[in-house]
Amino acid sequence: MDKVDVIIVGGGLAGLSCSYELADSGMTVIVLERGDFSGSKNVTGGRIYLNPLRNYLPDLWKEAPLERHVTKELITLLSETNSTTLELYSDRFNHLPYPSYTILRAKFDRWFADLLSEKGIFVIPQKNVNDLIQEGGKVIGVKTEDEEIGADCVVAADGILSFLSEKAGLRKPFQPQHFALGFKEVIALDSKVIEDRFRLGEKEGAAQLFLGTLTKGVMGGGFLYTNQESLSLGIVVGIQSLNQREPREEVYKFLDEFKERPEIKNLIRGGETVEYSAHLISEGGIHIKPKVFGDGILLVGDAAGLGLNMLVTVRGMEYAMASGVLAGRTIKMAKEKNDFSASSLSHYEKLLSESFIMKEMSNYQHTLSILENQRLFTKYPQAISDLFEKIMTVDGNPKEGLYKMISRELKKEFFNFQTFKDWLEFRKI
C-alpha cells in the first residue's frame, strides 16, 4: 500500500484550504476529488464573506475569481399580491477591502485547486473514496475504487453527506429537521443590464432575500445574487417542513412560480437559464455537530456539520475554509510530535471552539426553533405588505387619517398574545 502523510478527501473549500495550510510544511499531501475538477460538484447560493477569513487566508483574495462585491442588501417580504422591499446601501460595503462577494463555485474552486498544484499539492480529480481503512479503531488510510492509500492522517472534507464521518462512527444518522434543500437557476444576463436593473456601479453587486408566500408556508425563503454576467436565483426549504406540508406539492414548482412573480419576472427578463443545480444545507447548527476528530482523522467544513442558518443569511463557506486551515495547523503540530492519535488531534476541537465559527454557532443556536414558526413565512410578510399597501392606496373613498389607520391595523395584526409570544421567542437571536 502506498503511503503519504495526509490524504484530504474532497477538493471543495474545506479540503483545499486545509491543503493550502499544509503546502509549505514539507509533508506529502494529496487531495482526492470525485468530480472532473474541483468545484464541479459544488453549489452555493451564493455569497462569501471575506472579513472572517482574512486572518486565516490573507494572501488568497487578490487574484481570486470572485463575481461582484455586494454593495446592496435587499430583503423582500412577498405575499400573494404584493411585496415590500427594504433596501440597504452602505459606503462601507463599497470600500476596499470589500466585506463580501458573490461567487460561483465551479469557477472559484477550480482556480483554487490550480493554485495549489503550483504549490506542489496534488489535487487528483475523478477519485471517489469508498471507504476508510481502519486498524484497531485507528484510521490508517482510504480505499478508492481501484487502490488503497495509507496516511498518517485522513481529513474528511467530503461535504454535507460525509459518508466518511459515518464510517468513522463520528456522526449520528441524518434527520430531516436538521437539513434544508437549496436549489437555483443561474440565469445569464449582460453585465450592463444587471447593473442597470439593480442600479449598481461597475462590478458592484446586490444580494436579495425573499420571505413569504414563495415557499407556501414551508420554512425557507428565496435568494437572488448578482454575478458578473448572471443571476443566481433560487429557493431554500426545510426538509421536515416540506415533508409536513399539506396539500402536497412538488418542490421544484416553487421556483417556477417564483420566477413568474412580477417582482422577479422583470429582473430576469431576456435572461437565459444556463444551469439548474441543488445542494443540501446544514441547519442543525451546534445541535448536530459530530465529533470532529478521531484516531488519525479530522472532519472539516460541511462534513463537520459547520453550517448555520442566521435567518438573514446562510453561512457555510467561511466555516469550511477556516476549519480547513485550523485542521491544517493541527496536523502540522501533530507531525512535530509524530502523534496522530485522537488525543493529539483533539487540539483541532480547541482551535474551533476559540474561533468565530463555534462562537457564531453558539450565538445562533436558537434560530432553528424560531424558523419552525410558520407565521414567519406566512402571516407576517403578508401583514406588513398589506399595511404598507393600505397606507399608499388612494381609492374612491375619502382617505382615512394615517395615524388612525396605522394604529387600527397594528392592533388587528400585531397587538395580540400570539405576536407577543413570537416576539419573546425572536429575542433569543
Partner 1 sequence: MKITEKLAIDAFKNDKETHITLDQKICKNCKERFCIYACPANLYSLNEKGEMVVEFAGCLECGTCQIACIYNSVQWKYPRSGFGVQYRFG
The stretch near partner 1 (CB under 8 A) out of 68-76, 83-91, 239-247, 358-366 is 239-247
Q: Which grid coordinates are listed for 26?
A: 514539507
CB of 276 vs partner 1, minimal distance in Å: 4
Supply φ then ψ for residue 74, to 5 degrees.
Answer: -125, 135
Asked if residue 302 binds partner 1 (CB under 8 A), the reply is: no
Burial 298-308 (b: 16+ CB within 10 A, else e): bbbbbbbbbbb
β partners of residue 132: 142
Asked if residue 114 binds partner 1 (CB under 8 A), the reply is: no
Asked if residue 279 binds partner 1 (CB under 8 A), the reply is: yes
Asked if residue 144 binds partner 1 (CB under 8 A), the reply is: yes
CB of 341 vs partner 1, minimal distance in Å: 30
- Which residue's entry shows cell 415533508? 243
The stretch near partner 1 (CB under 8 A) out of 133-141, 195-203, 274-282, 372-380 is 274-282
* CB nearer to partner 1: pick between 84 and 273: 273
Among 24, 190, 196, 249, binds partner 1 (CB under 8 A): 249
Among 68, 69, 105, 171, binds partner 1 (CB under 8 A): 105
Asked if residue 120 binds partner 1 (CB under 8 A), the reply is: no
- Residue type at 300 in one-letter notation: V
Asked if residue 51 binds partner 1 (CB under 8 A), the reply is: no
> Is 414 within 8 Å of 383 (Cβ atoms)?
yes
Asked if residue 128 binds partner 1 (CB under 8 A), the reply is: yes
CB of 429 vs partner 1, minimal distance in Å: 25
Asked if residue 36 binds partner 1 (CB under 8 A), the reply is: yes
* CB nearer to partner 1: pick between 126 and 418: 126
Asked if residue 252 binds partner 1 (CB under 8 A), the reply is: yes
β partners of residue 220: 237
Asked if residue 367 binds partner 1 (CB under 8 A), the reply is: no
CB atoms within 10 A of CB 374: 14
The stretch near partner 1 (CB under 8 A) out of 198-206, 238-246, 312-320, 350-358 is 238-246
Q: Which residues contact 210 (CB under 8 A, 6 or more apart)?
A: 76, 77, 78, 221, 222, 223, 224, 258
**CA 206 to chain CA mean position, Å:** 17
Burial 337-364 (b: 16+ CB within 10 A, else e): eeebeeebbbbbbebbeebbbbebbebb
Of residues 173, 200, 212, the one with CA closest to residue 75: 212
Asked if residue 64 binds partner 1 (CB under 8 A), the reply is: no
Asked if residue 191 binds partner 1 (CB under 8 A), the reply is: no
Using alpha carbons, list the distances in angstroms from residue 300 to 24, 73, 205, 321: 20, 30, 30, 9
CB of 339 vs partner 1, minimal distance in Å: 32
Residues in touch with partner 1 (CB under 8 A) = 34-36, 39-44, 104-107, 109, 126-128, 144-145, 160-161, 163, 174-176, 179, 181, 183, 185-186, 230, 239, 242-243, 245, 248-252, 256, 273-280
